[in-house]
Amino acid sequence: MVISHNERNTPHYLPRPELLGRILAHRDTPDVKVIIGVRRCGKSTALAMFADALAADGVPEQNLFYKRFDAFDVPLDYDAADLHEELIRATGEADEAYPFTVMLDEIQDVPGWEKVVRRLHTREHTDVYITGSNANLLSSDLATYLTGRYIEIPSFPLSFGEYLGFSRNLTDAPERSDDDLLAEYLLYGGMPGLFALRTRTAETIGAELRDIYRSILFKDVAQRYGIRDLDGLEKLSRFLFSTSGSLFSARNVANTLTSAGHPISTGTVTSQVEALRHAFLLYRAEQEGMQGKTVLRPLSKYYPVDNGFRGLVTGFSPRDVGAKLECAVYMELIRRGYAVSIGTSDKAEIDFIASRMESGGTRKLYIQVTASLLDETTRAREFAPLLALTDAFPRLIVTLDPYSAGISDEGITVVNAKDWLLHDER
């Protein structure tokens, strides 16, 4: 494999076949493949897995060019001209009987990278893959040069199914039930780096998540967008994590932070929230009227990309299990390719309206999320907005309650969260 300055150093990675499969599905297609997601969610490992798969399939090493740009040994002044020069040398050594595969990891750290990728795209028998930790990689920089010539492959922290697989691969870990691992997953999240820790305690997990969080906040948010008030940015992100699942008002948040001794304007709150979203640290669900009704001035809810970040700012409190479950369900819907909004009417709210395009048309789900349905008042509250719906799309309640699973007389499916998180309905 052609490697310059840094090496593909992931000899002990645990497999993520679903993510690898999504990448392999676009192998040798003319589009530039853009793998995007929050920093440290596994994009680098995905490229390493892909490179190994190609090598195992007989692609010569000299036809695989891999470079990671956030590695320690990449020169600080490395730029597009340096990359172009390396690629010229590498292509001269390639076997022309095979495509030349280029894998550029965390490419946004290289000034002028877009022009190099554009030239690669014009080269025959060249297959290009890039990763990045900011949505602007697609929304502005790359789109300018490659309009209609790239495909986005989203990458996320571990799903619960992947978390179980990783946990089962820990040779020195005691045997634990799926329910125990789900409780751990809701508390600590699924950032893959947690499984590289020698010992996994609240202290070591907290230290690892804190390192990841600060790297994202300062490198992918503050540095990229020129935000100088780092203390205010951190206070805002921590506030959003701890209140995830609550309706968001930039004005109210600005007033809350100002009252707490950190003056901030509504406009600054809005722009910083967008910066956090572009770094994939936050995801948004906007209000949508039920039964096709329009919502005037809709509000939004925000969810952290991983429950570990919520746990980090709440001291890994065992409380608010329902909020943790709501975040996990939301991110699983995003992982499964749904667009997610909040169902709103004058009298009620549905946690999520999820929709995605499929071969037979639009698939749509109405979903309520609750820790338990054993209390009759809670049960009535969760069922009421679903019962008010008049269309035929599936209605679902996801709960940690193991005793309420089944289908109600009205056709509402109640499913245990563990089972739902493990089984994509596709």
pLDDT in tens, 62-78: 999 999 988 888 888 99
Would you call 49 helix, strand, or coil by DSSP? Answer: helix
d(CA 347, CA 181): 37
Question: Could you tell me the pLDDT band of residue 298, with boundaries at 50, 70 and 90?
Answer: confident
Question: Could you tell me the pLDDT band of residue 304, with boundaries at 50, 70 and 90?
Answer: very high
Amino acid 50: pLDDT: 95
Residue ranges of domains in the chain: 17-154, 163-425
* Summary mean pLDDT of the chain: 90
Contact indicator for 16, 49 with CB cutoff of 8 Å: yes
Amino acid 148: pLDDT: 66
Whether residue 141 is predicted with pLDDT greater than 80 in this model: the reply is no
Amino acid 10: pLDDT: 46
Q: How large is the average pLDDT for residues 304-333?
A: 96
pLDDT in tens, 319-368: 899 999 999 999 999 999 999 999 988 778 999 999 999 888 889 999 99
Q: If we measure between CA atoms, which residue out of 158, 137, 305 comes closest to residue 217? A: 305
Amino acid 138: pLDDT: 58
Q: How large is the average pLDDT for residues 28-50?
A: 93
Q: Which two tokens stand for residue 244?
A: 């995830």
- 306 by Cβ neighbours in 10 Å (0-12 / 13-18 / 19+) ranks as buried
Amino acid 11: pLDDT: 47
Whether residue 267 is predicted with pLDDT greater than 80 in this model: the reply is yes
Determine which of 83-97, 107-121, 125-139, 318-332 has the lowest per-residue pLDDT on average.
Answer: 125-139
What is the chain's alpha carbon radius of gyration, rounded to the nearest angstrom? 23
Determine which of 85-89, 103-107, 304-308 has the lowest per-residue pLDDT on average.
Answer: 103-107
Ramachandran angles phi, psi of 107, nearest 5°: -65, -20
Q: How large is the average pLDDT for residues 220-227?
A: 92
Q: If we measure between CA atoms, which residue out of 37, 171, 28, 177 comes closest to residue 106? A: 37
Determine which of 35-39, 190-194, 293-297 has the lowest per-residue pLDDT on average.
Answer: 293-297
Amino acid 115: pLDDT: 87
Amino acid 227: pLDDT: 94
CA atoms within 13 A on the CB side of 183: 8
Amino acid 145: pLDDT: 67
Sheet of 247-248, strands arranged across: 247-248, 300-304, 282-289, 339-344, 349-358, 361-370, 395-399, 413-416, 406-407
More confident position, 221 or 114 = 221
More confident position, 303 or 144 = 303
Amino acid 5: pLDDT: 36
Whether residue 142 is predicted with pLDDT greater than 70 in this model: the reply is no
Whether residue 269 is predicted with pLDDT greater than 80 in this model: the reply is yes
More confident position, 348 or 265 = 265
Find which of 3-12, 93-102, 107-116 is predicted with most confidence, using mean pLDDT: 93-102
Whether residue 4 is predicted with pLDDT greater than 90 in this model: the reply is no
Would you call 171 helix, strand, or coil by DSSP? Answer: coil
Q: How large is the average pLDDT for residues 130-140?
A: 75
Question: Could you tell me the pLDDT band of residue 295, with boundaries at 50, 70 and 90?
Answer: confident
Whether residue 272 is predicted with pLDDT greater than 50 in this model: the reply is yes
Amino acid 135: pLDDT: 76
Chain Cα centroid distance, residue 417: 20
Q: How large is the average pLDDT for residues 303-329?
A: 95
How many other CB atoms are found less than 10 A from the CB of residue 36?
21
Whether residue 137 is predicted with pLDDT greater than 90 in this model: the reply is no
Whether residue 2 is predicted with pLDDT greater than 70 in this model: the reply is no
Structure pTM?
A: 0.92
Q: How large is the average pLDDT for residues 372-388?
A: 94
Ramachandran angles phi, psi of 163, nearest 5°: -60, -40
At the top level of CATH, the class of 17-154 is: alpha beta
Whether residue 259 is predicted with pLDDT greater than 60 in this model: the reply is yes
Amino acid 53: pLDDT: 95
Chain Cα centroid distance, residue 146: 24
CA-to-CA dists, residue 350 to 27, 273, 401, angstroms: 40, 24, 19
